[in-house]
């Protein structure tokens, strides 16, 4: 039980290796679904296609011989919508509740329009289940255009769609923030303006419980989660420190990075996070880049350009509207180091980027002059 008359009927996926075909999820995923049982019964969202029978079994166990009156579809991404058809076949009298855009997507996914058993809702529309009064809030591009969130004023519960979600099954014993941050910046990070708009729209609601479509139900210290979402979506700095992201072919750029990390720590930097972009989880490096206010990009010149892993990393940042950060650069090139110019070009449309006065330029091996450059850069950053 989540609240009075509210039950969890979601599933854990411990078989998945890559979420959305790209994000490593060693602790699996949760696909959340909820039931409000009142005079009328509403089910919130379905689950991934692989778990349809388990999910329907969970609904049966929760309701017994009772049948749901509504299926509320908050988000049409297949990990939440894949079993709409199974549900409507199992419960032929249930009404499907969604936005007009969601019904257009259902036609594309399932070639079904649910005519005669659909309820189209708009921003601010309400639905009474008895004691539970639901209000729907559109959340376009958080992170698809058809998304709605639902507020239950009776239980003071916000059903938040993908917002406030995280990677990891519900039985994963791990800190919320780390995997929620990686999830947010990987999947929602581009849409900070839209998230800010939704946070303002929901700001006047009295919320005691948040029920997301991934990750645990949040019922304590909600200010902590809301503050983090506000920081993330406004591209603010969450933690003081410096993240160094690097590529190195023969170890010379890596040596410079190791020296820089040592100097930063010696200068009292509260946190130094180092990512080898050729070997780390790229999503973890992206997470660090948005978490800290200062970043050092260290790369070799390769084919007259930035080394491929670094170029892809910067693309990942700019795609997500990377901004409001201090950037230091370590470049390496035997005959024509071009990294600093190329990075500046890639970041030219990013707002609020401030470059350090000191740049480290290496010609193949790290020499004494480079050590001095590294020390100056460390002092400036720390």
What pLDDT is recorded for position 336?
84
- The strand pair at 11-13 and 41-44 is best described as unpaired
pLDDT digits (tens, 9 = 90+) for 270-315: 999 999 999 999 999 999 999 999 999 999 999 989 999 999 999 9
Dihedral angle sign, alpha carbons of residues 48, 53, 56, 57: negative
In this prediction, residues 321-336 reach a mean pLDDT of 94
| pLDDT surpassing 90 at residue 1 | no
Contact 141, 167 (CB under 8 A): no
pLDDT digits (tens, 9 = 90+) for 343-370: 999 999 999 999 999 999 999 999 999 9
User: What is the CATH class of 6-233?
Assistant: alpha beta
Fold of 239-381: Rossmann fold (3.40.50)
Residue of 248 and 1 predicted with greater confidence: 248
Burial of 371 (0-12, 13-18, 19+ CB in 10 A): middle
pLDDT of residue 335: 86
**Residue 4, pLDDT above cutoff 90:** no
Taking residue 214's Cβ as centre, other Cβ atoms within 10 Å add up to: 26
d(CA 74, CA 77): 9
Say if residue 197's pLDDT is above 70.
yes
Q: Which helix (H) or strand (E) holds 95?
A: strand 95-98
Q: What is the mean pLDDT of residues 150-161?
A: 97
Per residue in 77-133, pLDDT (tens digit) is 999 999 999 999 999 999 999 999 999 999 999 999 899 999 999 999 999 999 999
Per domain, the residue ranges of the chain are: 6-233, 239-381
């Amino acid at each position: 039980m989540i609240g009075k008359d509210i039950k969890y009927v979601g599933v854990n996926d411990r078989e998945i290796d890559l979420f959305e075909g790209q994000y490593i999820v060693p602790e699996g995923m949760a696909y959340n679904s909820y039931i409000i049982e009142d005079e009328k019964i509403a089910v919130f969202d379905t689950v991934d296609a692989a778990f349809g029978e388990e999910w329907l079994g969970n609904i049966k166990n929760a309701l017994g011989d009772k049948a749901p009156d509504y299926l509320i579809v908050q988000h049409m991404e297949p990990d939440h919508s894949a079993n709409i058809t199974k549900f409507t076949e199992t419960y032929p009298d249930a009404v499907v509740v969604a936005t007009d855009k969601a019904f257009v997507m259902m036609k594309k996914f399932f070639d079904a329009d649910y005519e005669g058993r659909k309820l189209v809702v708009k921003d601010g529309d309400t639905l009474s289940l008895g004691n539970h009064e639901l209000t729907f809030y559109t959340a376009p591009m958080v992170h698809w255009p058809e998304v709605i969130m639902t507020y239950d004023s009776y239980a003071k519960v916000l059903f938040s769609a993908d917002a406030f979600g995280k990677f990891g099954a519900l039985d994963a014993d791990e800190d919320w923030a780390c995997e929620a941050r990686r999830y947010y910046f990987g999947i929602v990070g581009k849409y900070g303006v839209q998230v800010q708009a939704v946070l303002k729209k929901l700001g006047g609601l009295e919320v005691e419980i948040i029920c997301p479509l991934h990750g645990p139900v949040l019922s304590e210290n909600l200010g902590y989660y809301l503050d983090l979402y506000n920081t993330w979506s406004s591209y603010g700095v969450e933690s003081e420190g410096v993240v160094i992201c690097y590529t190195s072919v023969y170890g010379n750029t890596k040596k410079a990075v190791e020296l820089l990390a040592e100097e930063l720590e010696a200068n009292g930097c509260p946190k130094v996070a180092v990512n080898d972009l050729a070997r780390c989880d790229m999503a973890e490096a992206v997470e660090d880049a948005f978490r800290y206010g200062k970043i050092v990009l260290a790369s070799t010149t390769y084919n007259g350009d930035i080394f491929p892993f670094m170029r892809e990393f910067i693309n990942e940042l700019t795609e997500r509207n990377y901004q409001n950060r201090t950037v230091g650069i370590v470049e390496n090139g035997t005959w024509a180091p071009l990294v600093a110019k190329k990075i500046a070009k890639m970041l030219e449309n990013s707002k609020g980027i401030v470059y350090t006065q000191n740049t480290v330029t290496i010609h193949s091996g790290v020499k004494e002059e480079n050590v001095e450059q590294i020390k100056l850069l460390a002092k400036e950053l720390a």
